[in-house]
Amino acid sequence: GAVVSQHPSWVICKSGTSVKIECRSLDFQATTMFWYRQFPKQSLMLMATSNEGSKATYEQGVEKDKFLINHASLTLSTLTVTSAHPEDSSFYICSASTRGLGGYTFGSGTRLTVV
Amino acid sequence: DAKTTQPNSMESNEEEPVHLPCNHSTISGTDYIHWYRQLPSQGPEYVIHGLTSNVNNRMASLAIAEDRKSSTLILHRATLRDAAVYYCILVRQQGAQKLVFGQGTRLTINP
């Protein structure tokens, strides 16, 4: 089946530094990928929609200059958390539509801890 | 986006069937009903989806009401590995296709 690979699975960084998270579709082409954030005991919150070759569409309240999204190829989207702060600590998850197969496939998530 | 309503939590016993309900009274004609589940510290996993007819796959069955205002995810024989948060989501056939997650149902399976 369709697989989305997300790396790293966890990362600890210092406050003020930037962190890049990669999301790859391994066996299918994903023209659209989605980035979510999930705080403990809460549901997933959509941050942005990433479109190959064009600018991402951000949800209301998500800072585009802080959460940089690049979708340069049909199999890779990246999320960079810039100037990270402790409040950015969260579980970040990407997903891609596999509409030809019916559903959406999710990465395994990245646990970001900012200290 | 059309909303869905699910119970916050449900509990069942191992090897028994589980029926997870979802209400979506404002569903439109082009909305597909998707179900995903999320195990602790993992990304969500696709379970099943349908439009009008009942659907079966190796993981579960999806029963859709005739008026499409509600649906039920059926796990025929629950195992401990089925303990997860289950999300019922409506996906518009056209448009941005983004998934908007509600709070889901936390399913506990007792041994």
3-state SS track over chain A: CCCEEEECCEEEECCCCCEEEEEEECCCCCCEEEEEEECCCCCCEEEEEEECCCCCEECCCCCCCCEEEEEEECCEEEEEECCCCHHHCEEEEEEEECCCCCCEEECCCEEEEEC
Interface touch B98/A103, C-beta < 8 Å: no
Tens digits of pLDDT across chain B (111 residues):
668 999 999 999 999 999 999 999 999 998 999 999 999 999 999 999 999 999 999 999 999 999 999 999 999 999 999 999 999 999 887 544 788 899 999 999 999
Q: What span, in angstroms and rounded, lies between the C-alpha atoms of A58 and A7?
A: 21
Chain B CB within 8 Å of residue A107 CB: yes
* Selection from B60, B99, B92 nearest residue B76 by Cα: B60
CA angle A77, A82, A83 (to 5 degrees): 165
Q: Which residues 54-73 of chain A have a CB within 8 Å of chain B?
A: 57
**Residue B99 distance to chain A (closest CA, Å):** 8
Chain B CB within 8 Å of residue A97 CB: yes
Chain B CB within 8 Å of residue A85 CB: no
pLDDT at B70: 97
Q: What span, in angstroms and rounded, lies between the C-alpha atoms of A28 and A9?
A: 21
Interface touch B99/A102, C-beta < 8 Å: no
Chain A CB within 8 Å of residue B45 CB: yes
Q: What span, in angstroms and rounded, lies between the C-alpha atoms of A89 and A14?
A: 11
Instruction: Identify which of B97, B103, B104 has the shortest CB distance to residue A32.
Output: B97
Q: What are phi and psi of A86, to 5 degrees?
A: -55, -35
Residue in A with minimal Cα distance to B35: A103
Tens digits of pLDDT across chain A (115 residues):
789 999 999 999 999 999 999 999 998 888 889 999 999 999 999 999 998 888 899 999 999 999 999 988 889 999 999 999 999 999 999 998 766 556 789 999 999 999 9
Interface touch A104/B102, C-beta < 8 Å: no
